[in-house]
A and B are shown apart, each in its own frame.
Chain A
Amino acid sequence: MDRIKTTEIAIIGAGPAGLAAAIEATKARARATLIDENARPGGQLFKQIHKFFGSQAHGAGVRGFQIGQELCAEAEKLGVELLLNTTVYGLFEGRVLGLMNEHKTMSLKAEKIIIATGATENALPFPGWTLPGVMTAGAAQTMMNIHRVLPGKRVLMVGGGNVGLIVAYQLMQAGAELIALVEAASQIGGYQVHAAKLERAGAKILTSHSIKEARGKNHVESAVIAKLNPGWQPIEGTEREFEVDTICLSVGLTPLAEIALMAGCEFRYAKERGGHVPVLDEDMQTTLSGIYVAGDAAGVDEASIAMEEGRIAGIAAAESLGYIESKQAKILKAESKNRLFELKQVEHSDLSRPVPTQAGRRRGEDGGAKYFRSESPPPDFMECNDSIAALHSPIPIIECTQYIPCNPCETSCPSHAIIVGKPITNLPKLDPDKCTGCGICIACCPGLAIVLLDMTFSDTESLVTIPYEYLPMPRVSDEVDAVNRYGETLCKAKVIRIRNPKSFAKTALVSIAVPKQVAIEVKGIMIV
């Protein structure tokens, strides 16, 4: 074993939390060593090809991998010391970390330790779950978005949280067919806007359903699903078998803070954050002085939250080493805490609660995501629907019905026609008098929840502009199917215009001409 190396702040895990912690600590001129077992930093960020929610300060509207690139570039510029392909195998007396790479073991003595080791995906056992072809949603995402290998052609997604919904969408973007998404609860747990992307592509979302069995000889050949009773037990006789080659499991995450557990930090049970999590103070410090935990390891949440937690831990660790005066540290931490507060001001249970709207009428027996449960009057920004026929100028129809912390529609609007305000979980409000119909909000909405409706296109036709993120891209004057929110064909439509500038970050705007009477129902296109 080599002699013991030393550093001031050892940060374990170079995902969003670890990178952010290393950046803050290094900015303060502390010596930070960032350790990751992978060949490159970024954690799960490089798998995230969707646009993030939040505000501009959180990097909203930017795709996850680009946030990863920005963080890595900043860390490199600051000269963060990076130990890649290096695994922490233990934490010993005196804050000595046991490290190993392929060739040797090393010891690293640190004055402060920040644990940013993320989370691990939960497993779900059922007969056949060990067959090749059953994998976690994250594994499928790694195969697709990192290694560029499509895990299968016909996929069943198990779990309707945000991970399941997002990965299902990405599988469809990559060319797989989503046979169904099943969710055991009576409504999906993820954001409605993510579910809507699947539904308007014609995918089935089956709530109160789960997988019962995977069948196949050497590989998954089919999946048996069943309807569940309110006690989550399968109802006999409701089994259905689908031919699939891939079953993705997206049934939650568990924080991975084993190093903190090994060190003897106190833990508490927090069901909403994935299980047992370390007890932390407001500096993200554990019950053991000098040991911090940030990101999913501290409790499962989103990458934007992980970054802020990492920043706080990095600042606090640098402060405790005397690199930042407490007054200055207080200001810096407050900035991060404000951004955190913006993302967390609505508890998760409330976030997933649907806002009543008639925008999404409920579908029949086991069809539809059932996130719209009420037939009560819609929020006021939807009221324009009723008078839509009377519109004299193009207008965005914003189907944002949940309290999601997100406001790129507001900040991207050049004419300030969309107001979200504070808190950023507010629903957007449109001022039709200010709106010029430019369509920028459509491309900037991370939820792809806006379409632009121009009833003035011609005497008989309206122009509907939708966000589109699939390949191949249609071409102008192509004939496509105009579909409703359930992916059902409404009519044939001619592509009039395509806008795909760099600033839209690969969310193209496709404008199609459709008969006036169906225009309000058009939510997407399908290339036939």
Chain B
Amino acid sequence: MLICRCEEITEEEIIEAIRTGARSIAGIRRRTRAGMGLCQGRTCRRLLAGILARETGIPSDDILSETRRPPLRPLKLNIL
């Protein structure tokens, strides 16, 4: 089942990333690219947090959002 639709990352891949040590959304992101696509995680961020909480028992209020950097929205290079 797809979780990150932009980068086409499945639930299994995310669980595997957690198994190999990811303990934050940024950790999952670096290992899988989940949340690094067009929507920059606006759709899947919460789902990633949910899977992380379920798999590790980390309380969801402790799962902080990863750092945000510009551009927040896709930015065409030719207008920069």
Contact = CB atoms under 8 A, between A and B. Distances in A.
B73 A1 contact: no
Interface centre among A125, A130, A256, A269 (most CB of B within 10 A): A125
B30 to A, nearest CB: 18
Given A89-B73, A261-B68, A127 B1 contact: yes
Interface string B1-45: 111010000010000000000000000000000000000001111
Interface stretch (A99-107, A147-155, A229-237, A331-339): A99-107
B72 to A, nearest CB: 5
A269 B70 contact: no
Contacts of B61: 269, 271, 276
Interface centre among A37, A90, A256 (most CB of B within 10 A): A90
B2 A100 contact: no
A275 B79 CA distance: 34
A125 B67 CA distance: 24
B57 interface: no
A1 B68 CA distance: 22
A104 B75 CA distance: 10
Interface in A238-277: 254, 256, 258-259, 261-262, 267, 269, 271, 275-276
A89 B68 contact: no
A122 B30 CA distance: 23
Given A1-B80, A104-B79, A125-B3, A262 B71 contact: no
A102 B42 CA distance: 21
Interface in B52-80: 60-61, 64-65, 67-73, 75, 79-80
A126 B1 contact: yes
Interface string A171-202: 00000000000000000000000000000000
Given A125-B2, A125-B11, A271-B61, A89 B75 contact: yes
Contact of B79 (A105, A123, A256, A271): A105
A259 B72 contact: yes
Contact of B42 (A126, A129, A256, A269): A256
| Interface of B: prevailing SS | loop
Given A271-B61, A276-B65, A89 B42 contact: no
Contacts of B42: 120, 256
Nearest to B66: A261
A275 B60 CA distance: 9
Interface residues of A, number: 33
B7 to A, nearest CB: 13
A125 B69 contact: no
Q: How large is the interface on B (under 10, 10 to 19, 20 to 34, 35 or more residues)?
A: 20 to 34
Contact of A125 (B45, B47, B71, B79): B47
Contact of A123 (B43, B65, B69, B71): B43
B9 to A, nearest CB: 12
Nearest to B71: A89
Contacts of B67: 261
A474 interface: no
B68 A125 contact: no
Contacts of B64: 267, 276
A89 B3 CA distance: 25
Contacts of B75: 89, 100, 105
Contacts of A262: 68-70, 72
A90 B72 contact: yes
A130 B2 contact: yes
A98 B75 CA distance: 11
A130 B5 contact: yes
A122 B46 contact: yes
A88 B68 CA distance: 13
B2 A89 contact: no
A210 interface: no
Interface centre among B44, B47, B71 (most CB of A within 10 A): B71
Contacts of B72: 87-90, 258-259, 262
A379 to B, nearest CB: 37
A98 B73 CA distance: 11
Given A254-B46, A269-B61, A125 B70 contact: no
Contact of A261 (B3, B65, B73): B65
A125 B61 CA distance: 21
Interface centre among B2, B72, B75 (most CB of A within 10 A): B72
A227 B31 CA distance: 36
Contacts of A105: 75, 79-80
Contact of B47 (A1, A88, A123, A127): A123
A88 B64 CA distance: 23
Contacts of B3: 125
Contact of B70 (A89, A102, A130, A267): A89
B1 A90 contact: no
8 contacts: A1-B80, A89-B72, A90-B70, A126-B1, A254-B45, A259-B68, A262-B72, A267-B65
The 4 closest A-B CB pairs, nearest first, are A90-B70, A269-B61, A89-B71, A262-B68
Interface of A: 1, 37, 87-92, 98, 100, 102-105, 120, 122-123, 125-127, 129-130, 254, 256, 258-259, 261-262, 267, 269, 271, 275-276
Given A254-B46, A267-B64, 19 more contacts: A87-B72, A87-B73, A89-B73, A98-B70, A100-B71, A100-B79, A103-B79, A120-B42, A120-B43, A123-B47, A127-B1, A258-B72, A259-B72, A261-B65, A262-B69, A262-B72, A267-B65, A276-B61, A276-B65
